[in-house]
A and B are shown apart, each in its own frame.
Chain A
Amino acid sequence: MNDLSLLLVTFAFLVPASMLSVEAALSVSIFEIVLGVIARSVFGIQPFPFLKLTAAFAGIALTFLAGAEVDTRLIRTRFKESFLIGVASFLAPFLAVLAYCYGSLNWTWEASEIGAIALATTSLAVVYAVLVETGLTRHVVGKLTMAGCFVTDFFVSLALSTLFVRPNTWTLVFLVVSVVLIVVAPRILPRLFQRYGNRVIEFEAKVLFLLLLLLMVLGELGNSHAMLPAFVLGLVLAPLFERNQNLQRRMRTICFGFVTPFFFFGSGLRISLEALAASSGLILTLFVIKVVTKIAGVYPLARRFASRGAMFLTLLMSTGLTMGTLTATHGLDKGIITETQFGVLLAAVIASAIVPTVVAQRWFQEELELTMPTEPYSIPAAVAPDTRGVIRPQEGGD
Chain B
Amino acid sequence: MLVAFDGSDNAFRALAHALDLGRLAGAPLTIVAIAEIPNYADSRLEVNGGLENERHHMHKLVKDALKRVKTEGVNISTEVRIGHPSNVIRKMVADDHFDLVVLGDKGHSTLVSLFLGTTAYNISRKVPCSVLLVK
Contacts and interface: CB of A to CB of B under 8 A. Distances in A.
A26 B41 CA distance: 7
Contacts, number: 148
B73 A393 contact: yes
Given A69-B44, A249-B49, A386-B80, A23 B111 contact: yes
A126 B84 contact: no
B48 A390 contact: no
B41 A389 contact: no
A383 B51 contact: yes
Contacts of A90: none
A194 interface: no
A128 B46 CA distance: 10
Interface centre among B42, B75, B109, B110 (most CB of A within 10 A): B42
B51 A385 contact: no
B107 to A, nearest CB: 11
Contacts of B37: 25, 129, 132-133
A27 B48 CA distance: 12
A252 interface: yes
Given A23-B111, A23-B112, A129-B38, A28 B46 contact: yes
A134 B76 contact: no
Interface size class of A (residues with CB under 8 A): 35 or more
Contact of B79 (A24, A382, A386): A386
A125 to B, nearest CB: 4
Contacts of B46: 27-29, 125, 252, 256
A386 B30 CA distance: 14
Given A389-B77, A393-B71, A24 B40 contact: no
A122 to B, nearest CB: 13
Interface centre among A25, A29, A132, A249 (most CB of B within 10 A): A25
B27 interface: no
Contacts of B42: 27-29, 62, 123, 125, 260, 264, 321-322
A284 to B, nearest CB: 19
Contacts of A369: 91
Interface size class of B (residues with CB under 8 A): 35 or more
B20 interface: no
Interface string B101-135: 00000001111100000000000000000000000
Given A24-B111, A386-B79, A391-B77, A321 B38 contact: no
B81 A354 contact: no
Contacts of A391: 66, 71, 76-78
A379 to B, nearest CB: 10
Contacts of B76: 391-393
A368 to B, nearest CB: 12
A367 interface: no
B22 to A, nearest CB: 10
A387 B44 contact: no
Given A25-B112, A386-B80, A125 B39 contact: no
Interface in B82-103: 82-84, 87, 91
Nearest to B71: A393
A32 to B, nearest CB: 9
B55 interface: yes
Interface string B58-78: 010001001100011111111
B45 A353 contact: no
A22 B4 CA distance: 19
A373 interface: no
Contact of A128 (B41, B49, B75): B41
Contacts of B48: 248, 380, 382-383
A353 B84 contact: no
A23 B66 contact: no
Interface centre among B46, B71, B73, B74 (most CB of A within 10 A): B46
A25 to B, nearest CB: 5
A20 interface: yes
Interface in A69-125: 69, 123-125
A237 to B, nearest CB: 14
B117 to A, nearest CB: 14
Given A24-B109, A65-B43, A387-B80, 7 more contacts: A23-B110, A25-B112, A30-B40, A125-B47, A260-B42, A385-B82, A387-B55
11 contacts: A65-B43, A69-B45, A125-B42, A125-B44, A133-B82, A133-B87, A248-B45, A249-B49, A383-B48, A389-B59, A390-B78
Interface of A: 20-21, 23-30, 62, 65-66, 69, 123-126, 128-129, 132-134, 248-249, 251-252, 255-256, 260, 264, 321-322, 353-354, 357, 369, 380, 382-383, 385-394, 396-398
